[in-house]
């Protein structure tokens, strides 16, 4: 605490101490309230039992504790993306009523990780995972970019393997930024959009009707008071949420607003690419 940069960080640390001595989850939530408000700090950190990817019942989370330096130069581009969210979110192919009336523009920073204790270094983080906080109070997006970090080989191997030399050069040229932007789309617009729709408490009816973007049919159900996403979707809730985030990220990469601030120009995308390669891939 003597080294905290401001009063918010001191409060955050005090609530961490309270939570880890008492085991009270509300105290941990309180620490996260101060953490969300600590926008673009120089030193970023977070800890707790955060992600429950590895528990099939989605109950037990794995300990994560990390400290990073915010890379202010790289963060500028992500801040531009956040400012364009009112243009980008409507591109998502679902009913606009499913979106929050006001997108809680998050802090979106690029990190150089100093130390990470946990199950494995992710390429992006979108927390807190408390759904009620995420919807009503906000969240932060963090992208971990490290030039020394190997590129996710699996994602690009098939594409590169099937491509001609010309296209392969093109893939090599844009793959790092493509991977970064996929992570950005996943965290910011995949996890960060949408809301739970609740029945009207008095009438017991859905407050509005929605059309399924795939089938064109009307939705028939929605949440009752007190129900939570994780409880309703059970053991598939985490994987389903991750699928939503990944698909949203990939879908949005088709739009220029996503990549135009990241040093990619249209001519670069079309320059060498042989479209038959890409179709085949």
Residue 236 burial by CB count (10 A; 0-12/13-18/19+): exposed, middle or buried? exposed
DSSP state of 224: P
Residue of 12, 111, 125, 245 that binds Zn ion (CB under 5 A): 245
Q: For Zn ion, which stretch binds (CB under 5 A), given 19-27, 127-135, 152-160, 234-242?
A: 234-242
* 8 Å CB contact between 13 and 41: no
Choose between 137 and 242: whose C-beta lies nearer to Zn ion.
242
Q: Does residue 258 interact with Zn ion by CB under 5 A?
A: no
Task: Report the C-alpha gap between 50 and 31 in whole angstroms.
Answer: 13
Number of residues that bind Zn ion (CB under 5 A): 2
* 8 Å CB contact between 128 and 32: yes
150 preceded by cis ω (within 30°)?
no
Distances (CA, A) of 174 to 13, 74, 157: 40, 16, 14
CB 233 → Zn ion: shortest distance, Å?
A: 15
CB 68 → Zn ion: shortest distance, Å?
A: 18
**By Cβ distance, which residue is nearest to Zn ion?**
245
Query: Would residue 187 show up in a list of annotated catalytic residues for this protein?
Result: yes
Q: Does residue 125 interact with Zn ion by CB under 5 A?
A: no
Residue 267 neighbours by CB under 8 Å, 6+ apart: none
Q: Does residue 50 interact with Zn ion by CB under 5 A?
A: no
Q: For Zn ion, which stretch binds (CB under 5 A), given 81-89, 194-202, 244-252, 265-273?
A: 244-252
Catalytic site residue from 44, 51, 145, 187: 187
CB 125 → Zn ion: shortest distance, Å?
A: 8
Choose between 155 and 256: whose C-beta lies nearer to Zn ion.
155
CB 191 → Zn ion: shortest distance, Å?
A: 6
As a whole number of angstroms, the longest Cα–Cα distance in the chain is 64
Active site residues: 187
Query: Rule CB under 5 A: which residues touch Zn ion?
Result: 242, 245
């Amino acid at each position: 605490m003597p080294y905290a940069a401001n009063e918010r960080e001191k409060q955050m640390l005090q609530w961490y101490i309270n939570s880890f001595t008492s085991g009270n989850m509300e105290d941990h939530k309180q620490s996260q309230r101060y953490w969300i408000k600590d926008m673009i700090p120089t030193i970023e950190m977070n800890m707790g039992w955060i992600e429950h990817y590895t528990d099939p019942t989605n109950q037990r989370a794995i300990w994560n504790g990390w400290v990073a330096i915010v890379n202010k130069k790289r963060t500028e581009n992500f801040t531009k993306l956040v400012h364009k969210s009112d243009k980008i979110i409507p591109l998502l192919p679902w009913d606009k009523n499913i979106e929050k009336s006001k997108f809680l523009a998050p802090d979106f920073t690029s990190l150089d990780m100093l130390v990470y204790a946990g199950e494995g270094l992710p390429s992006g983080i979108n927390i807190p995972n408390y759904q009620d906080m995420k919807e009503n109070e906000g969240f932060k997006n963090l992208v971990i970019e490290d030039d020394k970090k190997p590129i996710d080989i699996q994602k690009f191997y098939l594409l590169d393997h099937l491509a001609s030399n010309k296209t392969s050069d093109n893939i090599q040229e844009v793959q790092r930024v493509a991977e970064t932007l996929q992570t950005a789309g996943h965290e910011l617009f995949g996890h960060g959009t949408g809301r739970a729709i609740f029945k009207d408490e008095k009438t017991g009816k859905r407050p509005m009707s929605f059309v399924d973007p795939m089938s064109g049919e009307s939705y028939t159900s929605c949440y009752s008071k007190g129900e939570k996403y994780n409880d309703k979707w059970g053991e598939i809730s985490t994987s389903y949420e991750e699928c939503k985030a990944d698909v949203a990220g990939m879908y949005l990469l088709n739009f220029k607003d996503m990549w135009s601030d990241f040093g990619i120009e249209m001519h670069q995308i079309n320059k060498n690419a042989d479209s038959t390669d890409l179709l085949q891939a």
